[in-house]
């Protein structure tokens, strides 16, 4: 993903902004015995989201109108309609409105004149809502062989020592390691995290003590720089610093700093409020690029701290995002038109899902919607690749911790990349090009392109780390 408006997390509502149509339903009864004029009644439109707002406790309506300081006009921060889906993943209207068996709003026939006879004819025919897209059979992918949990976040020192110290990919790591860096977690486009990570990789491969010392200086400089930023910036930037701390073994490099400063500060970031949100609330509430980046940062911090509760919780959240509603279903989704089943929204559409005969298996609905509601051919929406940056790093960090995350939901991440490349004809570009190298390494696919000479938003150097 090259430089584009995706750096700015707000968009105006596009041509696909939701609209509702209201119908007037009139019922006129004309008995044969006498002419009695019955007033025409007007049916009431049942708005599930509005009724959810009324049913919420005070202070909760903000989550309906948008997760992050949204306007009160029913649109989210990216200008698209939003809806809150609680843990049951249901958009059924609250009390005061009913629905027909088809899932369409029930019709209120309006008032009748006292003493008048009940209608003798059947009630007006209501056109049912279109059926939700249904999965079609598709062969399951073979699961990725699991690995035993490693005590290292990314890879062990012995694995690192097996990597080459020559060639274009290695030269790229060294080049980035030599760049200047000013750590700043509040700057969402900062690349300092990946410069520090490059230095840690060079140290891990060569034992260069000057690189280790510069990484330690970077860790000391980054503490507290999250203040004034947002959780998107924290989610994008934190993982690189934490992985670097693990690669240089910061605990032995400077025990006092690691134990008394770095670890307590790192733990505080789970719940530190930034612009109204925390790392945890973002990971558990936002099913798009914000949430996936926050989830990766949460996993990295939890692993470094040895916090099994945070790790297990985020593993369940990620599994839920991939499609396992039994693991977790507390996200707050926006427009649902790209969902396979709007009543059961997910982060990645399930295997075999189609709509109007079109393949939407593997779509990331909550980021694809940012290009507008469902339409075919599908827009090439760059937010989807960015959301995958956070998701791919989550999967790898969980894989190193012993979780079979790459295989969850029939290899959901493989299906997501398949859809982008093979269906949407939209391969990774710009700072997204590091992802296919890791995808190919885990799934045995061939989606990688030219070596990525760009830094991702939260990770990089995969052509060196995972070259075939």
Cα(242)–Cα(262) distance, rounded to whole angstroms?
10
Helix axes 209-222, 192-206, angle to 10 degrees: 150
What is 258-311 written as a DSSP string? IIIIIHHHHHHTTT--BTTB-HHHHHHH--SHHHHHHHHHHHHHHHHHT-HHHH
Cα(67)–Cα(79) distance, rounded to whole angstroms?
12
> Are the C-beta atoms of 347 and 366 separated by less than 8 Å?
yes
**Residue for token digits 């088809």?**
102
Q: Name the residue among 5, 49, 41, 1 with its Cα closest to residue 335.
A: 49
Residues 6+ apart with CB under 8 A from 27: 38, 40, 41, 109, 110, 112, 119, 124
Q: What kind of architecture, by CATH, is found in domain 157-465? A: Alpha/alpha barrel (1.50)
φ, ψ of residue 420 in degrees (nearest 5): -60, -45
Q: Name the residue among 408, 242, 234 with its Cα closest to residue 321.
A: 408
Output the pTM of the full model. 0.74
Per-residue pLDDT in tens (0 to 9) along the chain, 468 residues: 443 344 334 333 333 333 333 333 333 333 333 333 333 333 333 333 333 333 333 333 333 333 333 333 333 434 333 433 333 333 233 333 333 333 333 333 333 333 334 344 445 444 555 555 555 656 678 888 888 888 999 999 999 999 999 999 999 999 999 999 999 999 999 999 999 999 999 999 999 999 999 999 999 999 999 999 999 999 999 999 999 999 999 999 999 999 999 999 999 999 999 999 999 999 999 999 999 999 999 999 999 999 999 999 999 999 999 999 999 999 999 999 999 999 999 999 999 999 999 999 999 999 999 999 999 999 999 999 999 999 999 999 999 999 999 999 999 999 999 999 999 999 999 999 999 999 999 999 999 999 999 999 999 999 999 999
- Chain Cα centroid distance, residue 399: 18
Q: How far apart are the first and last CA of the chain?
A: 23
Residue 468 burial (CB count, 10 A)? 9
The residues spanned by each domain of the chain are: 157-465
Q: Name the residue among 301, 274, 111 with its Cα closest to residue 187.
A: 274
The one-character DSSP state at 423 is I
Residue 116 burial (CB count, 10 A)? 12
Residues 6+ apart with CB under 8 A from 96: 51, 54
Half-sphere exposure of residue 280: CA atoms within 13 angstroms, side-chain side = 16
The one-character DSSP state at 406 is G
Cα(323)–Cα(320) distance, rounded to whole angstroms?
5
Angle formed at CA 261 by CA 398 and CA 249, multiple of 5 degrees? 50
Six token digits for residue 380 = 């090439």
Six token digits for residue 325 = 């509603």
- Rg of the chain over all Cα atoms, to the nearest angstrom: 26
Helix (H) or strand (E) holding 196, with range, is: helix 192-206
Is the bond preceding residue 377 a cis peptide, omega within 30 degrees?
Answer: yes
For the four alpha carbons of 249, 250, 253 and 259, in that order, the dihedral sign comes to negative
């Amino acid at each position: 993903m090259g430089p584009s408006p995706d750096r700015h997390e707000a968009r105006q509502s596009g041509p696909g902004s939701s609209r509702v149509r209201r119908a007037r339903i009139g019922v006129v009864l004309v008995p044969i015995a006498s002419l009695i004029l019955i007033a025409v009644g007007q049916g009431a439109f049942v708005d599930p989201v509005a009724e959810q707002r009324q049913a919420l406790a005070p202070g909760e309506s903000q989550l309906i109108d948008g997760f992050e300081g949204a306007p009160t006009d029913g649109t989210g921060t990216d200008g698209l309609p939003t809806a809150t889906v609680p843990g049951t993943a249901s958009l059924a209207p609250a009390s005061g409105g009913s629905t027909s068996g088809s899932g369409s709003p029930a019709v209120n026939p309006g008032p009748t004149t006292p003493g008048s006879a009940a209608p003798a004819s059947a009630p007006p025919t209501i056109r049912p809502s279109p059926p939700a897209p249904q999965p079609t059979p598709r062969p399951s992918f073979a699961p990725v062989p699991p690995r035993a949990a490693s005590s290292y976040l990314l890879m062990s020192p012995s694995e690192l020592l097996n990597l080459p110290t020559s060639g274009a990919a290695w030269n790229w790591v060294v080049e980035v390691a030599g760049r200047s860096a000013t750590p700043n977690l509040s700057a969402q486009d900062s690349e300092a995290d990946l410069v520090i990570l490059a230095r840690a990789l060079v140290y891990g491969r060569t034992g260069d003590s000057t690189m280790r010392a510069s990484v330690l200086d970077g860790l000391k400089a980054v503490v507290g720089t999250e203040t004034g930023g947002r959780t998107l910036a924290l989610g994008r930037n934190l993982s690189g610093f934490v992985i670097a701390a693990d690669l240089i073994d910061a605990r032995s490099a400077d025990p006092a700093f690691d134990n008394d400063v770095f670890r307590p500060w790192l733990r505080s970031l789970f719940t530190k409020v930034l612009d109204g949100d925390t790392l945890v609330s973002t990971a558990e509430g936002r099913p798009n690029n914000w949430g996936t980046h926050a989830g990766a940062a949460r996993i990295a911090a939890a692993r470094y701290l040895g916090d099994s509760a945070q790790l297990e919780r985020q593993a369940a959240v990620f599994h839920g995002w991939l499609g396992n509603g039994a693991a977790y279903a507390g996200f707050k989704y926006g427009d649902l038109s790209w969902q396979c089943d709007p009543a059961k929204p997910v982060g990645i559409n399930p295997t075999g899902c189609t709509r109007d005969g079109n393949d939407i298996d593997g779509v990331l609905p909550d980021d694809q919607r940012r290009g507008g509601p469902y339409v075919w051919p599908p827009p090439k929406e760059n937010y989807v690749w960015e959301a995958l940056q956070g998701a791919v790093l989550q999967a790898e960090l969980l894989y190193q911790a012993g979780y079979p995350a790459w295989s969850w939901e029939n290899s959901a991440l493989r299906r997501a990349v398949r859809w982008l490349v093979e269906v949407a004809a939209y391969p990774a570009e710009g700072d997204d090009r590091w992802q296919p190298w890791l995808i190919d390494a885990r799934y045995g696919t061939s989606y990688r392109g030219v070596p990525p000479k760009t830094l991702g938003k939260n990770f990089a150097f995969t052509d060196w780390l995972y070259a075939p």
